[in-house]
Amino acid sequence: MTDTLPIYHYHPYTGEYMGQGEADPSPMEPGEYLIPAHATPIAPPEPQAGFRRIFRAGAWALVEIEPADREPMHETEPDPEPEAPPAEVTHDDLRADLSRVHDSYCNGTTSHRGVVIAIDVEARINAQGTLDAVKRGVKKLPFQWFAGNESISVESVDDMQGIFDAIFGALDCAYDAKSVVLAKIPGIQAPEDYSVETAYNVALSNV
């Protein structure tokens, strides 16, 4: 049986270890072996993580792998920030919301004789002053009470009194509704589920 010699192949340009082979004995030179180019009978060192085995100047060397040549590490995306829990709704929050809803209503409108009229502060002052002037005879009848693009004909004290009563009657209902909802708030078990606006509108329809 013909003896062979273990040999170790390396890259022709980089010298990096590529694998093991066997060299056959030379038929022309006893004791010599046919070793191909880019191979050596010198065994490389054991592999080590982070290093390459490189054959240079007749010897093997362990050369550290540069970071750019290493396998890229798969960066894991950071866990998403946990969502902040919703702010706790308190009874004071409900009271503040009730004030907002009530103020919005009191700066709104109501209907009188088929005409939409304002009930805000300016409308209240005008209605009070005009009614007083009509009663004292300072404001001459008839005249038109203007409400946006429409107007109401005022031909008597009763007509002006009706406008006044409509405005302040709407306000009275608003305050009654506010009182009803305000009285319920301390007993609300789940403030976050309670709609102040809905409760206020329901109370308005019942007063």
User: What would the pLDDT profile of 135-174 be if each residue is shown by its tens digit?
Assistant: 999 888 999 888 777 899 999 999 999 999 999 999 899 8
In Å, how far from its chain's centre is CA 203?
35
- The predicted structure's pLDDT at residue 70: 53
In this structure, the number of other CB atoms found within 10 A of the CB of residue 14 comes to 13
In this structure, the number of other CB atoms found within 10 A of the CB of residue 163 comes to 22
The predicted-structure confidence for 101-128, as pLDDT tens digits, reads as follows 889 989 889 989 989 999 988 889 988 8
Q: Is the pLDDT of residue 1 over 60?
A: no
Mean pLDDT of 190-200: 87
Q: Which residue in the block uniquely carries the two structure tokens 């082979």? A: 21
The predicted-structure confidence for 33-82, as pLDDT tens digits, reads as follows 999 999 999 999 999 999 999 999 899 999 998 876 555 555 567 777 88
- The predicted structure's pLDDT at residue 22: 93
Identify the residue with better confidence: 2 or 7. Answer: 7
CA–CA gap between residue 145 and residue 159 (Å, rounded): 10
Instruction: Confirm whether pTM is higher than 0.75.
Output: no
In this structure, the number of other CB atoms found within 10 A of the CB of residue 105 comes to 21
Percent of the chain whose predicted confidence (pLDDT) is above 70? 94
CA–CA gap between residue 170 and residue 194 (Å, rounded): 25
Angle subtended at Cα 61 by Cα 56 and Cα 63, rounded to the nearest 5 degrees:
105
- The predicted structure's pLDDT at residue 56: 92
185-188 CB contacts, 8 Å cutoff, 24+ apart: 185/91, 185/94, 185/95, 185/98, 186/91, 188/91, 188/94
The string of DSSP codes covering the chain is ----EEEEEE-TTT-BEEEEEEEPBPSSSTT-B-PPTTEESSPPPPP-TTEEEEEETTEEEEEEPPGGGSPPP-PPPPPPPPPPPPPPP-HHHHHHHHHHHHHHHHTSEEEETTEEEE-SHHHHHHHHHHHHHHHTT-SPSSEEEEETTEEEEE-SHHHHHHHHHHHHHHHHHHHHHHHHHHHHGGG-S-GGG--HHHHHHHHHHH-
Domain locations along the chain: 5-67, 91-206
Q: Are 33 and 26 in contact (CB under 8 A)?
A: yes
Q: Which residue in the block uniquely carries the two structure tokens 């009070």? A: 128
